Structure 1
Amino acid sequence: MPAGKTENIKQVRLSQLFPFERHPFKVNNDTKMQETVESIKQYGVLSPAIARPLPDGGYELVSGHRRKRACELAGLETMPVIVRELDDDAAAILVVDSNLQREGLLPSERAFAYRLKLEAMQHQGQRKDLTSVQVEPKLRARDVIAQEVGESSGVQVQRYVRLTELIPPLLDMVDERKIAFNPAYELSFLKQDEQRLLLDAMDSEQATPSLSQAQRLKQFSQRGELTA
């Protein structure tokens, strides 16, 4: 938005607000949600959501998914929204940036958020490559993200992104702290059918693999030696 330009806030019906298609963050009816509901009942929505117009009508939320849910639970029919024209990449980056500073993010939320932003930044870099030989921004996107969110390195960002290769039940176990981050990273290199076999074995043994066990499983998988 150009400096000095004021954005208009409009009241939009909740029924006309749709979630971002690849929204990586969970919207749970938890204690924090109930606190937001009570705040909205008492003070109203203090910070407007951000959305972009959809081609067939309505708006796609970019920021404000939890606020919209809280408004629904509070019995409201509308909420304040800033409407912006955003392309897919800009919208994806804003979705991530508006949520990453929240406390208590789950590993799965970080994983899909980093992946979403990384892909958007890389796509922006590819478009810039059409008119410029400067490719470094695309190559170093993960390092930019690491600096912005306080991760130790771009490698750590990439390790989080790798978790998106886990099948949902295993990723849920990472969120529930039943599988630690480092073993989970190693297990993400297993094929999906191998991950399902592992899940069955974990269920029957009532145990989860250690880091060294996960590393060995990865090696067996890479050599094609992992069998039931």
Structure 2
Amino acid sequence: MKSSAKKVELAPYDDLFSTEESRQDAKLEKVREIPLSELHPFKNHPFKVKDDEAMMETADSVRQYGVLVPAIARPDPEGGYELVAGHRRHRASELAEKETMPVIVRDLDDDAATIIMVDSNLQRESLLPSERAFAYRMKLEAIKHQGARTDLTSAQLGPKLTATEKIAENSPDSKSQIKRYIRLTELIPELLDMVDEKKIALNPAYELSFLKKEEQRDLLDAMDSEQATPSLSQAQRLKKYSQEGHLTLDMMRVIMGEEKKSDLDKVTLSADILRKYFPKSYTPQRMQETIIKLLEGWQKKRQRDQER
């Protein structure tokens, strides 16, 4: 005979003896000490973590005082946690031979995690152009995904901001500059490396980003053969010819072989020529100082002769 009694669901034991205050407290974010081995880098993290002098100083600080500002991470479905903010602190902790570091764990979707990851790094002064470029692009894509959300902008508060304007609100760069940085992500890695190394300036690099990928590779060939990098005016002409469909490797070599105005203002004497007129014991610095003194003496003599 079946029992007519309804099933009774009992509340968990902890809930029976907990207060509303304690239950709310349990929902609050807390700083946890998590093993370094369980913390994984953010996917496609655009910021480089280098073992440079600044990192060694950070590691010394961590060794002495520990990590003072907790990192932020989110649960990784494959196990452990994905770092959202704190990659440099994580590396410094490894160098300091720490086993754990303080972390705030949050449940974040991909877009929210990307925005936090970018914003936590953008204020650093030593960012490379490539780091800033890919970070802005990642944040732009995340904000566009969130475009339907009402918490980003509200029609009642005024006109809806574009994604780029939203980035510029909390960025050291203007809307137009952000767009120019994002454009740099269209450069092939070799050219972008040259921008990071300051061999190519930002403005010419922006113009070169409009070249097709195969044209950019041909440009590397032309730059190597002519031992030159493009000025802004040269980059603009390369872009114009590319858009007209007339850009060829031969044309690139001709353009890169042009004498720049800055080159016309220079007079270069090789070390072999200079060594003929100085003792072997002279260093390059002493040679330069001597030449300057001789030129100053010659200039004064020429002025005296003109006054006679």
Matched, 1:200 2:212: no
8 Å CA contact retained: 2:123, 2:172: no
Moved over 6 A (4+): none
What is the correspondence of 1:30-109 to structure 2 with a 5 Å cutoff? 30-109=52-131
Q: Could you say which residue in structure 2 is the equivalent of 1:225?
A: 246
- Map 1:1-228 onto structure 2 (within 5 A): 6-125=28-147, 127-128=148-149, 137=160, 140-151=162-173, 153-228=174-249
Quick one: distance in 1 between partners of 2:204 and 2:82? 37
Number of residue equivalences:
220
5+ long unaligned stretches in structure 2: 1-23, 250-308
Deviation at 1:128, TM superposition (A): 3.2
Percent identity between the two aligned chains: 68
Quick one: distance in 2 between partners of 1:187 and 1:205? 17
The answer to whether the Cα contact below 8 Å between 2:38 and 2:80 also exists between their aligned partners in 1 is yes
1:32-77 CA-to-partner distances (Å, cap 9, x unmatched) read: 1000000001101111110000112111100000111111111112
TM-fit CA distance, 1:163: 0.3
Aligned counterparts of 1:148 and 1:70: Cα–Cα separation in 2: 27
Letter of the 1:163 partner, please give it. L
Match of 2:58, SS state, is helix
- Code of the residue aligned with 2:180 in structure 1: it is R
TM-score by length of 1: 0.91
Counterpart-to-counterpart distance in 1, 2:225 and 2:97: 46
Task: Give a deviation string over 1:193-227, Cα, whole Å, max 9, x none.
Answer: 11111011112211100111101111111122112
Counterpart residue identity of residue 195, structure 1: Q
In the aligned structure 2, how far is the partner of 1:12 from the partner of 1:89? 24
Distance between the aligned counterparts of 2:97 and 2:28, measured in 1?
Answer: 30
Amino acid corresponding to residue 202 of structure 1 in structure 2: M
What stretches of structure 1 of length at least 5 have no aligned partner? none
Distance 1:20 1:210 in 2: 36
Using the TM superposition, name which of 140-149 and 50-59 deviates more.
140-149
Once the 2 structures are TM-superposed, how far is the Cα of residue 150 of structure 1 from its aligned partner? Answer: 2.8
Give 1:6 shift. Answer: 4.3
Distance 1:102 1:195 in 2: 30
Q: Distance in 1 between matches of 2:139 and 2:50?
A: 22
Paired AA for residue 35 in structure 1: E
Answer yes or no: is the 8 Å Cα contact 2:133–2:181 preserved in 1.
yes
Deviation at 1:147, TM superposition (A): 2.8
When structure 1 is superposed on structure 2, of 29-38 and 100-109 the one drifting more is 100-109
Deviation, 1:90, is 0.2
TM-score, normalised by the number of residues in structure 2:
0.68
CA distance in 1, matches of 2:169, 2:67: 31
